[in-house]
C-alpha cells in the first residue's frame, strides 16, 4: 500500500486592503473633558490624510477621498513597512515653532516636500485585520509599535497623547499658540462620522468672510478688507494683512483684479483712501481670536480664498 503523505494546510489568503475609509471627525467643544477615560493630543494645523500601504503600493487620500499621492509621495515612501496598513494622520509644516497651514499651502503650491511632516495618530488596518472595532487606545498602541519596530523616522512622527486634565493641556497649548487639542475616549471604536468620542477645543476661531476691497502693494496685496452678510446688509468686519506668502499675494491680486468695482458695496460706507473696492464675489478663509466690541475681527490671519 502506498504511503499516505500529509499535505500542509493551505494558507488563508490575506484580506484585500479596503479603499478610502471615511474619516472620524471631532465635535467642537468649548471646554476639554477630563478623567481616566480620555486622552488628549495636540491639534495640528495641516492637511488630514489617510495613508494606504499594501506591499510596495502606496496611496495617500485627503479627508474627502481625493488621491493626493503625488503631492505627498515623500511621506508615502518614508513609511517603510512590509505588509499592509491604513494610517490616519496630519501632514504639517512647522514654522516658528508651530504648525503653519499657510506655509504648508505655499510649499504644496511650489511642489516642495522637504518640510512636510506626518503626525500619525490612528491605525485602521494592519496586515489583513480591520482594527476599527478595537478601542482607541489599543489602536494607538499598535500604531506606536508599528512605527518603533520598523524604526521609522522623520518625516514620520507618532502623535503622542497625554492623560489627565484636558483643560490644563489646552491652556498650555494656548500659551504656545497652538491651534488647540483633540480629546479622545480611550475605549471608543472608530466610526466614520462626527462623534462625541473625539472632541476638539480650538484656540482660534475660523470663518469665511466676503472680500470687499484690498490695499495694493508693489507685487500683490498688502491687506484685504472683509465684510459679513447680516440679512440683506453687508457690514464691515475689519481687515487682514497676514497669512500669505509673496506668491499667494500675487495670486490674490490677480483674482481680485477681475472683480474690481468703482464703488464699495458695504451697506454703511467706510473711509479707506488706499482701498481698491471689489464686488463681494470671493470669500476669504480667516482664522481669528475673537470679535472686538466694535464688531471687528481681532488677530486675524488669512488661510485661503474661494469663489462665492
Contact 93, 74 (CB under 8 A): no
Whether residue 73 lies inside any domain: the answer is yes
- Total length of the chain: 308
* Distance from C-alpha of 138 to C-alpha of 187, rounded to nearest angstrom: 8
Whether residue 15 lies inside any domain: the answer is no
Contact 248, 104 (CB under 8 A): no
Q: Quick: pLDDT tens for 64-95.
A: 999 999 999 999 999 999 999 999 999 999 98
Are residues 140 and 249 both part of a single domain? no
Check residue 15 and give its pLDDT: 82
Are residues 156 and 266 both part of a single domain? no
Whether residue 220 lies inside any domain: the answer is yes
Q: What cell numbers appear for 275 in the block?
A: 482701498
Are residues 185 and 36 both part of a single domain? yes
Q: What is the pTM of this model?
A: 0.69
Q: What cell numbers appear for 133 in the block?
A: 472595532
Domain range for 209 is 205-307
Check residue 106 and give its pLDDT: 84
Whether residue 227 lies inside any domain: the answer is yes
Check residue 13 and give its pLDDT: 57
Place of cell 493551505: 10
The DSSP annotation for 98-166 comes to EE-HHHHHHHHHHT--TT-EEEEEEEEEETTEE-TTS-HHHHHHHHHHHHHHTT--TTEEE---B-SBH
**Total of domains in the chain:** 2
User: In a structure prediction context, what are the per-residue pLDDT tens digits for the chain, which is 308 residues long?
Assistant: 444 444 444 445 568 999 999 999 999 898 999 999 999 999 998 999 999 999 999 999 999 999 999 999 999 999 999 999 999 999 999 988 888 887 888 899 899 999 999 999 999 999 999 999 999 999 999 999 999 999 999 999 999 999 989 999 999 988 887 889 999 999 999 999 999 999 999 887 789 999 999 999 999 999 999 999 999 999 999 999 999 999 999 999 999 999 999 999 999 999 999 999 999 999 999 988 767 768 889 889 999 999 87
Are residues 187 and 231 both part of a single domain? no
Are residues 177 and 245 both part of a single domain? no
CB burial of 81-101 (b: ≥16 within 10 Å; e: otherwise) equals: beebbbbbbbbbbbeeeebbb
Domain stops at, among 138, 170, 202: 202
CATH number of the domain encompassing residue 254: 2.40.50.140
Whether residue 132 lies inside any domain: the answer is yes
Place of cell 494546510: 9
The SS3 call for residue 168 is helix
Q: Quick: pLDDT tens for 184-205.
A: 999 999 999 999 999 999 887 7
Contact 191, 122 (CB under 8 A): no
CATH number of the domain encompassing residue 180: 3.30.470.30
Are residues 215 and 198 both part of a single domain? no
Checking DSSP bridges between strand 194-202 and strand 25-28, what pairing results, if any? Answer: parallel
DSSP for residue 258 = G
What lies within 8 Å, CB to CB, of 129 at 6+ separation is: 15
Amino acid at each position: 500500500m502506498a504511503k499516505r503523505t500529509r499535505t500542509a494546510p493551505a494558507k488563508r489568503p490575506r484580506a484585500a486592503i479596503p479603499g478610502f475609509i471615511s474619516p472620524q471627525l471631532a465635535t467642537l467643544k468649548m471646554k476639554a473633558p477630563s478623567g481616566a477615560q480620555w486622552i488628549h493630543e495636540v491639534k495640528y494645523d495641516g492637511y488630514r490624510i489617510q495613508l494606504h500601504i499594501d506591499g510596495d503600493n502606496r496611496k495617500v487620500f485627503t479627508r474627502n477621498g481625493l488621491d493626493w499621492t503625488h503631492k505627498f509621495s515623500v511621506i508615502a515612501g518614508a513609511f517603510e513597512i512590509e505588509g499592509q496598513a491604513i494610517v490616519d494622520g496630519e501632514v504639517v509644516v512647522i514654522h516658528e515653532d508651530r504648525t503653519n497651514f499657510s506655509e504648508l499651502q505655499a510649499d504644496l503650491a511650489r511642489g516642495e516636500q522637504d518640510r512636510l511632516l506626518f503626525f500619525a495618530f490612528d491605525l485602521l488596518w494592519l496586515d489583513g485585520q480591520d482594527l476599527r472595532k478595537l478601542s482607541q487606545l489599543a489602536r494607538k498602541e499598535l500604531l506606536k509599535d508599528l512605527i518603533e519596530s520598523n524604526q521609522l523616522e522623520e518625516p514620520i512622527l507618532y502623535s503622542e497623547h497625554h492623560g489627565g486634565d484636558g483643560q490644563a493641556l489646552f491652556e498650555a497649548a494656548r500659551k504656545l499658540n497652538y491651534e488647540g487639542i483633540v480629546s479622545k475616549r480611550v475605549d471608543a471604536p472608530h466610526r466614520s462620522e462626527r462623534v462625541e468620542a473625539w472632541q476638539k477645543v480650538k484656540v482660534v476661531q475660523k470663518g469665511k468672510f466676503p472680500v470687499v476691497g484690498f490695499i495694493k502693494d508693489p507685487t500683490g496685496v498688502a491687506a484685504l478688507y472683509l465684510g459679513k452678510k447680516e440679512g440683506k446688509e453687508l457690514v464691515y468686519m475689519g481687515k487682514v494683512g497676514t497669512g500669505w506668502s509673496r506668491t499667494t499675494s500675487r495670486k490674490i491680486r490677480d483674482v481680485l483684479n477681475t472683480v474690481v468695482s468703482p464703488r464699495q458695496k458695504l451697506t454703511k460706507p467706510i473711509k479707506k483712501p488706499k482701498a481698491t473696492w471689489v464686488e463681494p464675489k470671493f470669500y476669504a478663509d480667516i482664522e481669528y481670536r475673537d470679535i472686538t466690541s466694535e464688531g471687528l475681527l481681532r488677530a486675524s490671519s488669512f488661510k485661503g480664498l474661494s469663489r462665492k
